[in-house]
Structure 1
Amino acid sequence: MFDYDGEMRFLQGRFRAACGVRAGDRVLDVGCGGGQTTREAAADAGRGRVVGVDVSERMLEDARRRTAEAHVSYLLADAATYDFGAAAFDVCISRFGVMFFDDPVGAFANLRRALRPGGRLVAMVWQARAENEWAQVIPATIGGDAEVRDESPFSLGDPDVVRGILGSAGFGDVTFAAVRERLYYGPDVETAYENVLQLREPLALLAELAPADAERARADLRAMLAAHDSGDGVLFDSAAWIVTAE
């Protein structure tokens, strides 16, 4: 399994600090994955109720295995439409989990209903693809000039777009903090190579190549990863926003 928490190691501290979870807070973690953000929110919330929600049962099984706190629970659901109950939470957090909504205004309106009046939304989202080295170099190495079809990870990269979505969903006081940090793909080239080949976009690009071209692309990928081996891991530059709203 791809070590997503490891990839985020240089970003997570910034995100946790921005969440500002306080003792007693009721927290909803959207797109919680393996539960790292949920567990850290739970540590900050003390005995406050913390719920992680995700659409992947496999990821939630991993989260449950890693979680011992009785006040933490995990829910298999689509946060865009699930009825969490009105004013059920004080804080809604998400680390790269809110960029994929089919109806973003409706989805964020649903999350707003789940927050008490004055409650806070804190989400980390990617800036535009052009600002993220990893999102340019990896597909270009594999697919060359092949068209990249999935721009959904960067759908909230434009602050004006995000302000419009959140305003239409009923949020106010929307702010952005830029985060430029490294992404960690593994301690060595071989680990990074295996990690990259678990990601959807590289796999899709490789699948479109003829066998000989795919073999060359794999060799090019290894060489590119070796060029990004810092000695302390294979690292790429990244750019994200921490978006907060009330």
Structure 2
Amino acid sequence: MQQTTNTVQVQAWNGYEGAHWAAHHDRWNTVNAGFNEPLLAAASIRPAEHVLDIGCGAGATTRLAARAATQGHAAGLDLSGPMLERARAVAAEEGIVNISFEHGDAQVHELPRAAFDVAMSRFGIMFFSDPVAAFANIASALRPGGRIAFLSAAEPEGNEWLTALAALKDILPIGGFGAVGGPGMFSLADPDDATGLLHRAGLRNVRAEHIQASGIWGRTALEAADFLLDSGPGRHLLSSVDPATQARARRRLTEDLGAHETGGAVRLRSTGWLLTATVDA
């Protein structure tokens, strides 16, 4: 990877968090799949276009972009080595050739200037230590008239996975877990802040649209609870308590998630801001 200024996130996404997402990329894609359609509709990728996917992770959205840009190209950029390794492997398995992946920090990565028609991201833009620098760098990689379509997490209370964890506050040290601010999952939860940052980065025609989607977190309440508690946030909370308390939290969460289990799946609602903008023509 080239230089980085976002060292905290580099450590996280090249450690347990990145390894977990890489190992369970199919399950995370199932969690977030409901956002794919509005994201791709906003990106409006044409066959001959070149697409930059920011925070591409294991490459699910990059592969969708590559399939839309049949005569163009899709490039994914991410901080996480483990997830990029998985992204390259899956793309090769699926025989997608108009695709590439780079390991880098979007804040400072040397992106080719005016090389892309559209930049997109599915929940990969909330982790910048300097979002204005990141957005300005991304904008510089877009051709005149180029556009962005970014998804960021919206209000914490609109995410049922988070409210399920927050309900364990009498068992686990929840504290400021899920607080708005950054860099972190809810750093762009305030739409005025998010659109203001894009304006400061020099983007135009900035809009924010509130959307929501339900994702499948497991086939059963127990499976969903285990998945939530084994992911980064859940694992962090469990690490602060003894094994007996961990078991108690797991039982309670399983009981609570039972209310969302129907038709062989646990579906939880998430919310997001669909941020769109253009660069000057």
TM range (shorter): over 0.9
- Who is 1:193 aligned against? 225
8 A contact 2:216–2:266 mirrored in 1:
yes
Taking structure 1 as reference, are residues 72 and 136 closer, same or farther at Cα in structure 2, changes over 3 Å only?
same
Percent identity for Structure 1 against Structure 2: 36
- Who is 2:175 aligned against? 147
Displacement, 1:149? Answer: 4.2
* In 1: Cα distance, 2:220 partner to 2:153 partner: 25
Would you say 1:71 and 2:98 are equivalent positions?
A: yes
Would you say 1:117 and 2:144 are equivalent positions?
A: yes
- Who is 1:223 aligned against? 255
* In 2: Cα distance, 1:61 partner to 1:84 partner: 20
> TM (normalized to structure 2)?
0.83
Question: How many pairs does the alignment contain?
Answer: 246
> TM (normalized to structure 1)?
0.94
Where does the alignment leave 5 or more consecutive residues of structure 2 unmatched?
A: 1-22
Q: In structure 1, the residue corresponding to 2:250 is in which secondary structure?
A: helix
Which amino acid is the alignment partner of residue 163 of structure 1?
T
User: Which range moves more in the overlay, 115-124 or 59-68?
Assistant: 59-68
* In 2: Cα distance, 1:81 partner to 1:140 partner: 39
Which amino acid is the alignment partner of residue 121 of structure 1?
I
* In 2: Cα distance, 1:13 partner to 1:232 partner: 23
* In 2: Cα distance, 1:146 partner to 1:58 partner: 28
- Who is 1:25 aligned against? 49
Which amino acid is the alignment partner of residue 225 of structure 2?
Y
Counterparts of 1:171-210 in structure 2, within 5 Å, are 171-210=203-242
8 A contact 1:35–1:52 mirrored in 2:
yes
8 A contact 2:173–2:237 mirrored in 1:
no
- Who is 1:62 aligned against? 86
RMSD: 1.6
Displacement, 1:232? Answer: 3.7
Deviations 1:174-195 (A, max 9, x none): 1122212112101222331332
8 A contact 2:164–2:257 mirrored in 1:
no
